[in-house]
Structure 1
Amino acid sequence: MMAVETNYFAVEESETRVWQPTDELAQAVALEVLLHGPLGRSELARRLDLAPATLTRISTELINTGLLVDAPHATRRGAGRPSIPLDVVADAHHFLGVKLSGEQIAGAITDLRADVIDYREEPLDSRDPTAVTSQIVRVSRRAAAAYPIDAVGIGLGGVVDSDGNVSSAPFLQWTDVPIATLVEAELGIPTFAANDLAAFTEAQHWFGAGTGHANFATLTLGVGVGFGCVANGKLLANADSGVGLVGHWPLDPLGPLCKRGHRGCAEAMLTVPAIERDVSTALGRDVQWEEVLDLAVAGEPAATRILDASGRALGALIAAVANLTAPDLVLVGGEGVGLAAVASDAVAHGVRENRDPRAAPVRVELVSGDNESWCRGAAVIAIQGFVRNRSGRALQP
């Protein structure tokens, strides 16, 4: 990540950086400010249903311990004394989010609110778990040359349990790899791992377009198709999360075949490789994703026909998600998100075809699908682990 190598060295106890409110109420106040701040005390008390005196006691304690600060600029609402908001010091803590694919490792340094400070990527040296662990450690130590790193988050496509153990990761050809434990043992700081779609969804939940929504869904388009859902303020997850079950959701009975022989499923209709393949076949030459989009924008008949069909299929999938989960909004991202923009009319048509006209309109928002957004998701997994008090020593310059 950073250009300069550095040697890791242990951190003295006095340098330990922690997020450790004294009780559940203090933790609730600190998290509310982290996720929604800056917030005035009266607004905080209203949101958390706390008596003013209780909020004053807690906020004073959090200020004294350095978790919160009075925001520098007072805001006045109506007559009377101005309200001085409480806020976190976002740049007091730093996190490294790592995204692993079968060919690449990417990393982003973020602050406490997951704003990206630096981003770098490099080829993956090897898919061997030991080699990948060593490469993550090197990336982490380089990052620490510029910023003390409080925790590391790792996102990858596959099935990952709550302890950061990867039971299956097809792109990496991994089975039963405790990647979080392996990296943490080398670095000596908290390290977390999660399915990359779950991490992406959590990033939207805490600091992205899903902030403030108790119910929303994410769809990601790229090498595969991913689906995430937050219901009643919590990410829905179980042992099958990360298998990619939505990839073979049927969308078009007349569509192309996927590798497993399913006709018109999400994998066959919506993934970048499938669309690239279909356009390349139609044109008789190799066509990459950006050119596919450019050709469709320019009105090239074959590219337009294929993207319109994929757009209608995406609309059908969005409608299915809305029909089954009743989200406030559906967020579409991933490296193939350009499909939703270029074929927006076809997407809207697909939604209408598969949605009862009496139902409320489906709110759809497009979010960034670049690699940096996946790294940001991994960093949010690290932030969540850190603020939930699995804190420890920081990796220092």
Structure 2
Amino acid sequence: MGAKRNRTSQQLIHVLSFDPDLKTSPVITSAVKVASNEDLLIEILLHVPVKTPMGFKSVSKQWFSLITSPRFARRRNPLPSASALFFITFSCRSNPEYQFIPLDTSDDCRTPFRTLDFVHDPLGSGISVLQSCNGLMLCASYRARIFNRRYYVYNPTTKQFSILPQIKRKNLKYVSGMNLAFDPVKSPYYKVVCVRRSETEGKPFQIEIYSSENCIILERFCSLVEGFRPSSYWNDEPYTLYFKVEEEILEQLLMPMKHVNADELDGEEEMVEFREQVATYLVESEGHWHLIEVYSDSTCLFNVYEMALDYSGWFLKYEVDLSAISDVFTEIITNDRYGYTFNILSLVRRGKEENGSFLVLEIPCGKIVRYNFADRSVVKLWEDPVVHKFYYDDGLKYVNALPYMESTACV
């Protein structure tokens, strides 16, 4: 349909260029007025399927500029929200396969891919997804050494991809992480941030930033804040570090205080034991960051915190009681009758957040369920037909689920 409409638009322009008599036709005159009125054109394009505007980009430079502009992105999808989650079904030596799970039981979510074959990776091991960000995916060579790995940015909606420059080996000790930063509301361009350990004395971390706007790599050295260490979360003022991509600076962020005071724990061994029982989940949805900490596998009660928009700190957003899930799916309760076994996959904000926001959890016996914050209702989203493979002793796969949403962004 999109290709057909694209051809029709091009034919219309062709006719207008070579047959001046038709320009006086009321129908043609109206069409020309619509095509030249950006505000009216945007209103029309907002009501067509997400893929249709992709064919219209080639109509003219004006249409291309309009469809790829942040203004259109803000109107088209002001608060990007995931329509599905996906994860690798199992690990193997070849191209991994992915399972897609719609987040709304009434939706018939089309699976965009099972395996990634948009390009032939020269290493021959296939391609896997490292991160999903507002419709774009950061991909890499599967099971390849860090020095040889190829990185790609892929749009599964448009099937477009871009090959990123390879990481330089100079002064490289190891790569701590590769992250994709893309906000279509602010800019049509994306950035890829590589954090790596440097061998240069006095400059422990190097941050490389690739920008799709000018296709260049910027290098920044960042020293750790004095006194910071991973276990500093146990100090009186626990904090973590975060990198502001737009300003290209590293800053501190205070974390929510734990419910248990470290001074109340009896010795270092008990502190270590308690720390090992804490499961921490950091989840982003619709531009908001949330922190979830489950302090013990014997409780069904925990809190969800949300980060302030100015990054000044956290505030309590939701109080979760998973007993509603145990009433429907008793397998979440372990054999000791008190413990709860689950893995938090995602937190999704949807529409009016007091009614539409929910958690997605993995529970034993190969089930993935949706827990609504407002009424504590629970719905099964998916069940693995083969529950006896690739599971741990507690019945969980501990999958790393990524959000999926459609996007018309260029890569």
TM-score (norm 1): 0.27
Q: Which of these two proteins has the greater Rg computed from alpha carbons? A: 2
Bigger proportion of residues as helix: 1
Bigger proportion of residues as strand: 2
**Structure with bigger RCO (C-alpha 8 Å, 6+ apart):** 1
TM-score (norm 2): 0.27
